Amino acid sequence: MNSSAPGLVPDARTSAESAAIALIDPSAIARSIEDFARITEPGAGVTRLAYTELEREAHRLFAEEMSRLGLTVTVDAVGNSIAELPGGSPGRTAAVGTGSHLDSVPSGGRFDGIAGVSAAIETARVMVESGMQRRRPWRFVVFAAEEGARFGQACNGSRVAAGLTTSADLATLVDKDGISIEAAMARVGLQPDAAASARWRSGDWAAFIELHIEQGNVLETNGARIGAVDIISGSSRLMVSVTGTATHTGATPMHLRRDALVAASECVLRSEQLATDPFHRGTRITVGRLDVSPGSITTIPGRVVFTVDIRDFDSQRQRETMSELIRSFTSISAARGVEIEIETIGDTSPVVLPLSLVERIADAAHTQGLRYRMMPSGASHDAQQISRVTPTGMIFIPSRGGLSHVPAEWSSSEDIAAGTAVLIRALAGIDAGAADDGEAS
């Protein structure tokens, strides 16, 4: 890869990168993580759900930090926040970018998404304070509503940016209280009817790299500091409603019951059975939410609503698994004498990331003297959606114990700082690359 810039030979460029990287401060990253963690609902861990006032408050904190550094900050119609450092070469208008998200799952951790945002803030700071030359604009993005915990669909802000979700779609997805994404956005001052204006143009971007915690324990187990992600798992999500008859537990004989929970339980067990058979090696199926009504100890469950999350690195197998589950659930409900409704609430294909960016991240880690490994991501990310717009890479840093989406989620500020150094070297290499051609050089 030719990454030398006119007027700046490779050795000089590498020295400039090293000088900037030397300014990275783990304690500043730790403070940033803590500042965001304070913006939460009461209770264990961090609860900052998509399209709530708390999420917008976190975005405002990001904007304040970036404005203080002299960057220009804008917020698009669907709530994505973008801070920009201008480039130094008029002929290089396609930007390099980085960032992640600030919303969380209920009672989640303080690092999922936030580590990537704090790394973006630290990258901007050292770029400004070091005065490191850049030819392209550098953009730092906080995507809105990445977590699917509230509305079922993950990565809403980045899906809109990639043209995968439209204004019409925003009225169809609702939370457990029946509030649509459209209504939730309007409540916090956003413009769901103008979602089309938030779509990114490929010509405006040279590449995007997201830093994220691993959310597993592969790096920790193998003693590696950096993961260069080469593929991101796909995800298909179902909302399943099972309706039987709610009646008295003592007065209704077992053979006359239409127990919605028994039928739903059989569906859950069928999901596990399917995911663990030899053909589905690498498939993951999870029932993460199960709501039982009326929820009385003396009443047979008359209605159960549950979610199913199907993940796979094989796109065809992912969709075949979803179809097989739907057939199985339908058969189970018929045998149990209950009614069933199955709705697809999310469907994202696996994405293979460009080898050029995977190698660039690996090279940057090697230059930093950091042990790395190329690896897949089992979780979905904003980078997965943005790959539809521009070449996209991902940097993983270790998660202690492999824990994520729980209060015990933890990554060290030193590891985030190490990932930030790799991020800066990777972005700087793209910045110094050849002419804008819509591809990472």
Binding residues for Zn(2+): 101, 112, 147, 212, 405
> Do 119 and 419 contact (CB within 8 A), yes or no?
yes
Cα 392 from chain centre = 13
Q: Per the annotation, where are the binding residues?
A: 101, 112, 147, 212, 405
> Do 365 and 228 contact (CB within 8 A), yes or no?
yes
Q: Is 312 left (phi over 0), alpha (psi -120 to 50) or beta?
A: beta
How far is Cα 184 from Cα 20, in angstroms, rounded to an integer?
A: 41
Q: Is 268 left (phi over 0), alpha (psi -120 to 50) or beta?
A: alpha
* 3-state DSSP of 220-279: HHHCCCEEEEEEECEEEEEEEEEECCCCECCCCCHHHCCCHHHHHHHHHHHHHHHHCCHH
